Structure 1
Amino acid sequence: MNKRIFGIKIFDIAALLGTYLVLSIGYHITLWFNRTEEFRVYSDLLNLESWFNNEGLQYIIMLFATSVVWIFIFRIFRQWKLWQRLLLHFLGLPFFVLFSWKIFYLICESLGYWHMSGPGQVWDIYIPTLIYLIQFSLLHAYEYYVINQRKMQYEIELKNVALKSELSAIKAQLNPHFLYNVFNTINASVPKEMETTREMIAELSDLFRYQLKASREDFVTLEEELDFVKKYLKLEQRRFEDRLKININVPDDLLSKKIPPMILQPLVENSVKHGISPLVEGGKIDIIISEKEDKLIFEISDTGVGIKNKENIFNLGVGLSNTQKRLQKMYNSTLEFSDNVPSGLKVYFEL
C-alpha cells in the first residue's frame, strides 16, 4: 500500500523534489562553467551556501510556484475537462514566471544575494518558462498514464466479475431447474387427500420457476414480481396463520412497469424473518408502491420488533446487501431505513 501525504504518493513528492534538486544543481554547474577564468573559483562548485544563495533559492521558489499551479489544475479543477484545464495554463505560466522571477529578485536584494541584471534577466524568464512547459507536460502525461492504468485494471476486474457472474448464472439456472423438476415429482406422489400439502408444493415450485426466470432476464414486470412476492407470503401465512397480515397497495396502471427481478423479495423476507417472526402476536406487512415524477416509489413496512442499530442492518444477511448493491449500480439509488409507527421497520427506495 502506497503511503500518501495530503492524498499524494510520497514517491511522487520525492520525484518532484528530486527533479528540482537535479535541475538546480545542473544550472549551478552550467553557470559556474560559463564564468570567466578569473571568477571561476573551484570551491564554489561544491559550496552548498553558494548554491543556495543563487540557484537553490530560485528553484525552491519555482517549486513553491509549481505547487500552487498544480493544486489548482490537478486538485481544485480536476473535474473539469482536459481542454478546460489546459486553458488554465495561460494563467499558470505567467504566474509561475513572474513569481519565480520577481520574488527571487526581491529576496536576493533584501538578503544581499547576487542575481542576473540587465539583458541577463532574460534567462530568468526563459528558463522558468521552459521548466514550466516541460514539467507540466510530464505531469499531464503521468496523469494520463495513471488514469489509463486504472482503466485497464478496472476492465480486468470487470471481465473477472463478468466471468464469475456468468458461471453463477449457469449455476443459478441449473439449481432451480433441478429443484423445480424434483418438486413436480414429489407433488405427483402426494395423495389427493393431502390437498393442502399439494398446493404448498405447487406454490413452492412456482417460486423456483420464477427464480429460474429471474436468473435469465434483467427485467420483469411489476405484476410478475408482485405475484412472486404474494406466493412467498402465502406460504409464510400458512406457517404463521393469523399472526401474519398482509396489505399490498399498488395502482393497476403501474403493474406493467419494468423492474429488476427479485428486488422486493429480500426486503419482504427480512420483514418476516427479523421483524414479525420474533413476536408471539405476529404483525402486519405493508407493501405500498406509487409513482412520482416518473419514478417508482417503494415502501415496505412491518409492525415487528424493529432494528435499533440501523448501521449494521446489512449484516442481517446477503439479501439486503445484494439488493443495496443492485440499486446503486443500476439506478444510483439506495435503501433508506426508518422506524415504523407504532413499531417495526420501514424500508424505502426509488427506481
Structure 2
Amino acid sequence: MQRPGIGREARGSPAAWTPRPADPVALRRQQEERSAFLFGALLVYLIGMLVRIAGFAFPLHAIVFSLLVDSFVLLLVLANRHLVAHLQVVLRGPALLAAIAAAALASAGVTVLFARSLVLLVVSGPPRWLPAAGPQFVYFAYVFLAWAVAGRWLEARAQAHEDQLRAITAENAAIVAEMQQLRTQLDPHFLFNALNMMAVDIHDRPKHALKLLRELSQYLRYSLDTADRPFVPVALEVAGMRSFLRVQQSRFGARLRSRVTVEGSMRGRLLPPFLMQPLVENATKHGIPGADGVLSVDVTVTAEDDRVVITVRNDGDLAALPQRDGTGTGLSNLEKRLRLHYPDRHGFDLRQEGDQVVARLRLEGPPC
C-alpha cells in the first residue's frame, strides 16, 4: 500500500495546483481582442447616442434608450462570437460565412423588436422621430455584419501574426541550439593534425612540440571559456584566432605566413564567439601558396563608428574552390549566425582581387 505523498503528488500539494506559465503570445492576442472590443463598444454607444438625441424630446431619454439598446447589441455580439467559435469547429469556408451572416441578420431582427418595444418603456409618448422598422433593421444588420467581418479579420490577422511569431521563435531556438553546438565543435582534422604533429616532434623536436601544445591549449581554453557566453569582447575573439593561426603556423612552418591586425578602438565592442573562425579556417584550408611556396593569410579587424569590419585575405583562386558539400558549410553556418545576431545589419562578400581571395564581413551595431 502506497503511503500518501510518497511516490506521487499529494492532493492539494503545491505541485498539484501550481498553474502553468501563460503563453505570452496568447496573452497578447487576448489583450488585443479586449482593446478592439472596447473600442468597438465605445463607437457603438457614441454613434447611437448622437443619432437618437435628435429623435427624442428629452436627451436623457435618448441616453437611457441608447445604453439599454446598445448594451443589448453588445450582448448579442458576444453571443455571436461564442456561437461562431463553436461553428468554426464543424464548418469551413462558405458554410461558415453563411452561418455568420444568418446569425448577424437574426440578431438585427431581434434587436429591432427589442428597440421598438423599449420605446414605450423609456418615454411616456412616442418620440418625435422614430425610423421605420426597415431602416432600423438595415442599421443593426450593418452593425452586426461589420462587427462579424472585423472580428474575423482581426482573428485571421492575429492568427497569422501568432503563427509567424511562433515560427520565428522556433527557428531562432533551433538556430541558437545549432550555433551553440557548432561554435563549440572543433574541426576534428585540425585537432588530429595538431596532435599528430606533436607526436612526431615530441622526440626529435621537443621544444617545437611543447610550443605547439601551448598554442593548442590556449585555443582550446578559448573554446571552453566561451562555450556558455553569447558574446565576447572583440579582443578576446582576435586572441582566439591568433592562437588558431599560431597552431597552423607551428604545423606548416615557413610554408604559412599569417598576420592579424586590429585598427581602431575595440573597447566595449562585442562579437559572437568563433564568428571569424570559418573565414580564417577557409583561408588556411583552401588557400593556394604563391610562387614562393608560401601561403599568406592576413586578417584585419577595423572599427568604424558603430561598425566592425573583418577582412580576411589569402593567396588563392576563388574559381578553384572545390564544389563539394563540406566547402560551403562553414559559410552557410556563418550566414545563419549573422541573420540571428545582426538581422538586416550585416554584409558579407567573397571576391577575387588579383591573386588573392578576399572575404569581408561588415557588422552594424551591437549583436542581439
TM-score (norm: length of structure 1): 0.53
List alignment gaps of at least 5 residues for structure 2.
1-87, 108-131, 364-368
Cα displacement (A) at 1:246: 2.2
1:195-235: CA deviations, max 9, x gaps?
11221122112211111112132333322222222222223
Give 3-state SS (helix, strand or coil) of 2:287's partner: helix
Q: Partners in 2 of 1:130 and 1:198 — Cα distance?
A: 83
1:258 corresponds to 2:253: no
Give 3-state SS (helix, strand or coil) of 1:288's partner: strand
Matched-pair contact (CA < 8 Å) for 2:256–2:295: yes
Cα displacement (A) at 1:315: 5.5
1:267 corresponds to 2:279: yes
Aligned to 1:322: 333
Aligned to 2:231: 219
Question: What residue identity is the alignment partner of 2:351?
Answer: D
Aligned to 1:231: 243
Give 3-state SS (helix, strand or coil) of 1:254's partner: coil
Aligned to 1:350: 362
The two structures, once aligned, show a CA RMSD in angstroms of 4.6
Aligned to 2:150: 136
Matched-pair contact (CA < 8 Å) for 1:246–1:284: yes
Q: How does 1:63-74 map to 2 (within 5 A)?
A: none
Question: What residue identity is the alignment partner of 2:153?
Answer: L
Q: Quick one: structure 1 residues 255 and 265, their matched pair in 2 at CA, closer, same or farther if it must change by over 3 Å?
A: farther
Q: Partners in 1 of 2:95 and 2:213 — Cα distance?
A: 74
Residue 94 of structure 2, aligned match among 3, 17, 21: 17
Give 3-state SS (helix, strand or coil) of 1:202's partner: helix
Q: Partners in 2 of 1:156 and 1:339 — Cα distance?
A: 34
Cα displacement (A) at 1:267: 0.8
Q: Quick one: structure 1 residues 144 and 278, their matched pair in 2 at CA, closer, same or farther if it must change by over 3 Å?
A: farther
Aligned to 1:40: none
Q: Partners in 1 of 2:335 and 2:324 — Cα distance?
A: 11
Q: Partners in 2 of 1:275 and 1:155 — Cα distance?
A: 38
Cα displacement (A) at 1:149: 5.5
1:281 corresponds to 2:293: yes
Aligned to 1:243: 255
Give 3-state SS (helix, strand or coil) of 1:261's partner: coil
Cα displacement (A) at 1:161: 7.2
Q: Partners in 1 of 2:104 and 2:278 — Cα distance?
A: 69
Q: How does 1:37-48 map to 2 (within 5 A)?
A: none
Give 3-state SS (helix, strand or coil) of 1:340's partner: strand
Q: Partners in 2 of 1:328 and 1:157 — Cα distance?
A: 11
Aligned to 1:58: none
Matched-pair contact (CA < 8 Å) for 2:262–2:301: yes
Q: Partners in 2 of 1:25 and 1:223 — Cα distance?
A: 69
Question: What residue identity is the alignment partner of 1:325?
Answer: K
Cα displacement (A) at 1:131: 1.0
1:262-289: CA deviations, max 9, x gaps?
1112210111112336999343222122
Give 3-state SS (helix, strand or coil) of 1:250's partner: strand
Q: Partners in 2 of 1:265 and 1:29 — Cα distance?
A: 68
Aligned to 1:44: none
Residue 220 of structure 2, aligned match among 205, 208, 211: 208
Q: Quick one: structure 1 residues 125 and 293, their matched pair in 2 at CA, closer, same or farther if it must change by over 3 Å?
A: same
Aligned to 2:15: none
Matched-pair contact (CA < 8 Å) for 1:271–1:285: yes
Q: Partners in 2 of 1:164 and 1:253 — Cα distance?
A: 31
- Specify which structure has the higher proportion of helix: 1
Q: Partners in 1 of 2:293 and 2:326 — Cα distance?
A: 26
